[in-house]
Each structure stands twice: as C-alpha cells, then as structure tokens.
Chain A
Amino acid sequence: MSTDLIPLAFLMFLVTYPSRALGLLTPWLDRLPRVGFDYLQLVGPAILAALAAVSVMVVVSDDGQPAFHIGIEWVAVLACLAVTAWRKNLLLGLIVAVAIVVVARNLGFAALPA
C-alpha cells in the first residue's frame, strides 16, 4: 500500500493549522490589513472555479500537449452548479451530475474518457 502522499498530507497540515490557530492562540490577527482579509475571501471561489474549469475543459494528450475539450462533462458540471445553487445541497448536485454522465455514456451520446 502506497504511503508516498503521507508527507504531502503532513505539509498540507503544516500550512493549514496556522490559519486555524492564529486567531485562537495569538492576539495580533486584528492587525492584518483589510485588503488581506478581502483577498482571502476571494481565494476560495477563484481556486475552486479554476479547478473545475481546467478539469472539464482541458485534456492532456499522450504526447503531453494540453488541448481544449468539449464534452458531456460540461453539462454535468453546469447542472451540478444549478442544482446546488437552487436546492442548497451539494450532494444532490453531485448525484444529478453523475446521473447525466452515466445516462449519456451508457446510451452512447458521449464517449468514455480516454
């Protein structure tokens, strides 16, 4: 069983714990410039959106070249976005997304990923 990623998990802990602990354990946090707080507020949406977009729009060919991809995954991800925003329930959004892909692939409307 691979344990190669355990040091990575530990490094991720090392950079996560301070953000959780600084406010509770130290008194200086209030001195962080407001623009810093504003930037932090925006980091989450930007990274998550970038991850989602790159995951469904960019594929890497066997020779290592990235290429633009259009597929049923777009529909699934957009459906997840809509359902999650509408029902405030991510699990339901994920179920809808997976269902769309399963139906499309099994009925032959969409290709299986390479």
Chain B
Amino acid sequence: MTVPAGFPTSAEALGASRRRVLVDAMGIAVSAIGFGFVYGLSAREAGFSPIEVLAMSVLVFGGASQFAAVGYVASGLAWPGIVLLTALLNARHLLYSAALAPWLSRVPFARRAVMAHLLTDEAFALSIGHFRRLGFTDEWGYWIGAIVSTFIPWTLATLAGVILGGQIPDPARLGIDVIFPAAMIGLSVGLLTGRREIVAAIVGAGVGVAVALVTSPAIGIIVGGLVGPAAGLLVPARLASETAPLGTPASADRFMMPGAHVRPPPEAPPPDARPADPPIDGVEDRDRTRP
C-alpha cells in the first residue's frame, strides 16, 4: 500500500472501501459471466475452437475486441486487418493507463507490467473509484477489480460458452447469429458520450455499409472504422457536448460490461490530494475534448 504524505490512514475507511469494491466486483462478475458465455457461443458459430477462444480470452482479454474479432474472422478479413482494427479498438486503454499512472507509480515495475495486462474498463472503474475514496493507493483494490471481477469469470464463461454451445441443435432458429451485431451496437452505447461519438458511429456505419457493398464486408469495416472518427472530429469542440471523456471514471462508468454501473465517489479529494486523472497537455480531463 502506498500512502502519500498528508493522507490520514483509516482502517475503517479502508475496510469500507474494500467491501464496496468487493460488492461492485461481484456485480461485474455476474455480468461478465453472462456476456462471456454469449461471446463463447458467438465464437463457436464463427468456427473458433475452445482452445482458440481460451487463447483469445487470456491473451487479448478485451470483450469488445474479442467480439469484433469473431466478426472479422467470420467475414474473412485478413490477419493484418484484424490486428490493425484490434489495435485501434483497444487504444482507449492508453487513456485508462495514463489516468492510473499517478496512483500506481510506486508499485514495483514488474507488478505494474502485470497490472497493465489486466487493465480493462471494469478494473479501471473499480480501482480508481477505490483510490479516490481512500485518497491513497491500495493495490488490493486493483487486483480485485482486475482478477476477481473480470479475468476469472470472463475467461471461464467464454470457455463454457464455446463448449456448451455444441449442445444447441439449431443455432439459427435460436437467433444465435444476431447476438454478434446486437452486442456490437450495444457495446457502442456505452461509448456514445457526446455528439462527436454519435457522428463517428453514424458515419462509420454508413461508410462501412457503402464500401462493403462495392468491395467486401471486411474492407467496409476497416474503412468505416477509420473514416468515422475523422468525421467525428469535424464536429466543433464547442458543440461536442462531451459528457464522459475516456480515461475518467465517468467514461468507465458508462463503458462497463452489461449491467455494471460503478459510480465515481461523490466526495471530492482533499485539497492537497494528487490529481486522480492526470492532465494532458495541461488540460483537465473534463476539458480534454474542448479548446
């Protein structure tokens, strides 16, 4: 545990905050189990074997990018394209990583390297809320958020989905094929935090379909995914109405896996507290997308 000077430690406060992390983690774990199972079913439909699904869950460990990869593989997208889109889709973790860096700076390098692999929307939301409540770093909260709430339930549930999915006799009649596009659009809801995001999504979808019709679905997805953000940037910052820039607890709250909603702590940190979310280029988090 790292306790910066000026922060009084309180066993009661620590215990209370840890209990809250545990309760929140249980809620997230339930959601991760349900969603992971659905991912396993979807991956099986796309031809993934159990060992391939397990490799994806352990190595990639990113729900949206794993789900997207199912679609890429099913549509015949070449591996370089899949890797490029995965990099883009997971690039948001840069912002979470930067936001957590001040809190974890005193953690030994090797442990931070492991922490990085387990950094997800959920781990970010749980841990930064925990740190802010306490006013100091408590590694225990990070590990609970990363491993107990997500890594273990997600990995096991995806494996269960791909194995038990074989027991379903007629997947099309049960609507399994619609899970993937529905999951994609549902995941995007958590990301629509302003007008720029809405424009990016609409343009990405429109361009994706148009290009797919004249070339192939795989190329359409790539072009839509690259052109959409550029179109979103055309929305003037003063009109963006951004409510939850990535890398802030507000964004993680909206971005959670299904059903999990961890609110950022209502209490403000002490005046002499280190900033919870580091400013970028001297701009506060809430102003990141504004001039």
Contact A43 B86 (CB under 8 A): no
How extensive is the interface on chain A, given as a class? 35 or more
Mask of B79-121 contacts with A, CB within 8 angstroms, 1/0: 1001111111111111111111100100001001101110100
Contact B246 A40 (CB under 8 A): yes
Contact A91 B31 (CB under 8 A): yes
Q: Once bound together, how far apart are the Cα atoms of A62 and B69, in whole Å?
A: 23
Contact A45 B259 (CB under 8 A): no
Q: Once bound together, how far apart are the Cα atoms of A89 and B30, in whole Å?
A: 12
Which residues of chain A (63-106) have a CB below 8 Å from chain B? 66-68, 73, 76-77, 80-81, 84-85, 88-94, 97-102, 105-106
If the complex has contacts A49-B224, A105-B173, A112-B173, are A55 and B180 also in contact, measured as CB distance less than 8 A?
A: yes
The dominant DSSP class at the A interface is: helix
If the complex has contacts A57-B209, A113-B177, are A39 and B68 also in contact, measured as CB distance less than 8 A?
A: no
Contact B85 A40 (CB under 8 A): no
B4-12, B17-25, B212-220 - interface stretch: B212-220
How many whole Å from B204's CB to the nearest CB in chain A? Answer: 3
If the complex has contacts A42-B233, A76-B182, are A23 and B208 also in contact, measured as CB distance less than 8 A?
A: no
Q: Once bound together, how far apart are the Cα atoms of A73 and B172, in whole Å?
A: 12
How many whole Å from A60's CB to the nearest CB in chain B? Answer: 7
Judge if B239 is at the interface, Cβ distance under 8 Å: no
Q: Once bound together, how far apart are the Cα atoms of A94 and B187, in whole Å?
A: 11
In the complex, which residue of chain B has the Cβ closest to the Cβ of A21?
B116
Q: Once bound together, how far apart are the Cα atoms of A112 and B229, in whole Å?
A: 34
Judge if B269 is at the interface, Cβ distance under 8 Å: no
Which residues of chain B (151-176) have a CB below 8 Å from chain A? 172-176
Contact B65 A2 (CB under 8 A): no
Chain B residues with CB under 8 Å of A21's CB are 97, 112-113, 116-117
Chain A residues with CB under 8 Å of B65's CB are 12, 16
Chain A residues with CB under 8 Å of B206's CB are 53
Contact B259 A92 (CB under 8 A): yes
Contact B50 A1 (CB under 8 A): yes
Chain A residues with CB under 8 Å of B56's CB are 5, 9, 12
How many whole Å from A56's CB to the nearest CB in chain B? Answer: 5
Q: Once bound together, how far apart are the Cα atoms of A11 and B65, in whole Å?
A: 13
In the complex, which residue of chain A has the Cβ closest to the Cβ of B73?
A5
Q: Once bound together, how far apart are the Cα atoms of A40 and B289, in whole Å?
A: 11
In the complex, which residue of chain A has the Cβ closest to the Cβ of B176?
A98
Which residues of chain A (8-59) have a CB below 8 Å from chain B? 8-17, 19-25, 29-30, 32-35, 37-58
Q: Can you list 24 contacts pairing A with B, beta carbon distance less than 8 Å?
A: A2-B51, A3-B51, A9-B55, A12-B56, A12-B60, A14-B83, A20-B119, A23-B101, A24-B113, A39-B229, A40-B95, A46-B232, A48-B187, A53-B205, A53-B206, A54-B217, A56-B181, A58-B217, A73-B181, A84-B186, A84-B189, A90-B257, A94-B179, A113-B172
